[in-house]
Amino acid sequence: MKIALDPYMLRRVPLLDLPRMVAGLGYHRIELSPRDDFLPFFRHPRADDALVAAFRKALADAEVQVASVLPLYRWSGPDEDARQAAVRYWRRAIQITVDLGVDVMNSEFNGRPAQPDASEAQFWRSLDELLPILEREGVRLVLEPHPDDFVEDGTAGVDLVRGINSGQVSFLYCAPHTFHQGGDAPAVIRHAGPLLTHLHLADSFDHRASSGLRYIVNPPGSAARVHQHLDIGQGEVDWEAFFRTLAEAGFDGLATICVFAWEDRAEQSCRFNLAKVRQYAEKYGL
């Protein structure tokens, strides 16, 4: 198992200083998630070829590699203009990924839960355009179900990825979304089998507990989804069962630590979670 850091809590660090800082925290890999000066959320990439080259040099100098690139675009949204824009953004993000020397991208389905059929149709339309590019460039795509997406359940997410029927596309299990994915991480991991190539690691509380009254959102009946990305051990994900099942499944992919809750102590959090993941990995032979 390879461990990476999602440096979102460090996004105010200048881009070219980020690799050196990540290395100082003990990481040798990062998952390049959205940041306004490079790959913003839901908008066209801001990086030109010169910035990509400078960032690649900074990574090499710090002996840090980008293990995956994480863009987020509305490529499955029911609005066709927005979908076409998202595909355009994806094309540039793929080129940036290739220019960085990276061969993995991960993302969400990114449709709307109130319009699942229309969102899925848009998803397939976008995939028809993008999958040939990914295959030509040798870039693997890893997808996850997400709270407030047209696919939220873990098993259903695995089935949709399997239905793509491409060796270029696999499944990401996000631990802090466990309680939106059905609440049974081992069952989803076992169902995914070899399709599971990527993990997101952070903790979360079970929002369904206490008769659904643990978190009260107003107005009543709101469709808001609630979860956290906490330090490992601060929530209710069963980490022993999680890592034991990964070992039983022979998992040997990428595990990204993606804690977002503690920007006021980001460096301490990054170090703590790296140590915890290493402990579990050693205990279960991952």
Q: In the chain, what are the domains?
A: 2-284 (3.20.20.150)
The stretches of the chain forming alpha helices (DSSP H) are 18-24, 49-62, 80-99, 116-137, 154-164, 185-192, 209-212, 239-249, 266-284
pTM assigned to the model: 0.95
For the chain, what percent of residues have pLDDT higher than 70?
100
Q: What percent of the chain has pLDDT over 90?
A: 90
d(CA 160, CA 154): 10
Provide the pLDDT for residue 221: 76
Q: Is the pLDDT of residue 184 over 90?
A: yes
Residues 84-103 have pLDDT tens digits of 999 999 999 999 999 999 99
Q: Is 216's pLDDT higher than 80? A: no
46-50, 108-112, 139-143, 172-176: least confidently modelled range: 108-112
Written as one letter, the residue type at 44 is: H
Per-residue pLDDT of 270-282, as tens digits, reads 999 999 999 999 9
